[in-house]
Amino acid sequence: MENDIVIKTAHDKLFKNNNKNYIFIYTPPKVGSTTLVSSLRVSLGIRFNIIHIHDEVMMQVLTGIKGVSINKLIEYIADNGNNVWVIDIYRLPMERKMSEFFEKLSDMHFNNTETNVIKYDIKRISVRFNELFPHLSNTDHYFDKYEINVPPFDFVKKYSIQTCNRVKYIKLRLMDSNNWGSILSEIMNAKIVILNDYKTSDKSIGDFYNKFKNEYLLPTNLFELMKNCKYLNFYLNEAEKLAYFRSWRSRLTIHFEPFTAAEYQLYIKISLENQVYDNVQHDHYIDNGCGCKACSLKRKEIYFKALKGEPINDKIIHNDEIKSVLAEGNKKIISEIKQKIQEKTEARKFPRNQFSIKSYGQERK
């Protein structure tokens, strides 16, 4: 009973919308989950409670409550008669490792500003990346976190879905993101539009990131390590694996000895202790999920823009949307006042009504 109370408290801190539909984007970092979150929020609005979460540490930060299991929260919500979907995403290993590495490149890995780091030689960046290679992005939530059997991936439909304990579990691949709209529209029985959100290549360090991706050479032993990844061998069919390996065989270089597990832990400890710069992410999503009227109006505007295929350059930021609606409201009021003044002015231009009671009586005399 006490545990249920704690879980309910965590639930109430996380979810503000009063509905029975819940979507957990429960994934590792750097797999395209931010794009998915914003796309679902814009498409589904306040009819769904949508949360983006990576692990229990993030859960504690969001709720201020220790010891709440994400799986237990999901189970609690489903047991109370709600509709629950849990979505995980697979991303190809090299791209995911690079993205994770560059997420903390300046503040964590080199303890410097982005302005200075982008002046570094690509070889210097490559050495650090190779040292960390085995320890970057090497988990899969469906295998490692969900505590359920993993269904075979459907390479025709390009997703898998199963129901366990009244919860629908969905697995997508980032490499199929062009199909996410149709896939999720069918699953959710609603028109889902996909927005590109929070891409590393679009950030201030984006040009340097693209330069690294183009110039980086992969050591042969790390290539073999990647080839033997159990997640890659599960989520890619034979043709996809051959094509992916072929794309990297032309970019191989000599053997490199990366950090051992112990060396990596020491590296992280020292890096965190020495860290001076903190790359805090503000307004992380296109849509932060606010259900107020102002944000809902902006959400509707973005949704219809996306449906038309127009580029989305806006974010739904609550304070900005409130100001916008207030300003728009003032314009309407001013317009109404002007209209009334205009009507009074126009009325004065007409002569006195010759059919008034007085004139009518005078004519009869």
DSSP character string of 82-124: -EEEEEEEE--HHHHHHHHHHHTIIIIIS-S-HHHHTTS-HHH
Query: Does the pLDDT at position 161 exceed 70?
Result: yes
* pLDDT tens digits, 15-40: 988 899 999 999 999 999 999 999 99
Name the DSSP class of 287: B
Which residues on neighbouring strands pair with residue 160, listed in sequence order?
171
Per-residue model confidence (pLDDT) at position 329: 62
pLDDT at 305: 79
Closest Cα partner for 158 from 170, 141, 150?
170
d(CA 44, CA 348): 52
Cα dihedral 50, 56, 60, 66 sign: positive
Structure tokens at 113: 């500003």
Identify the CA nearest to 217 among candidates 243, 255, 259: 255
Query: Could you tell me the two tokens for 270?
Result: 């020292």
* 256's tokens: 């490199």
Q: What is the spatial distance between Cα 69 and Cα 150, in angstroms, rounded to a whole number?
A: 20
Q: What is the pLDDT of residues 324-356, one digit of tens each?
A: 666 666 455 445 545 666 766 665 554 444 333
Weakest-pLDDT range from 162-166, 176-180, 333-337 = 333-337
Question: 22 by DSSP, 3-state: which?
Answer: strand
Cβ count within 10 A of residue 333: 9
pLDDT at 363: 40
Mean pLDDT, the chain, integer: 86
Note the pLDDT of residue 46. 87
Packing angle between helix 122-132 and helix 93-103, nearest 10 degrees?
Answer: 110
Instruction: Name the pairing type of β-strands 160-164 and 167-173.
Output: antiparallel
- Write down the domain spans for the chain: 2-316, 320-364
Parallel/antiparallel/unpaired status of strands 49-53 and 252-253: unpaired
DSSP letters, 51-87, are: EEE-SHHHHHHHHS-SS--HHHHHHHHHHTT-EEEEE
User: What pLDDT is recorded for position 322?
Assistant: 64
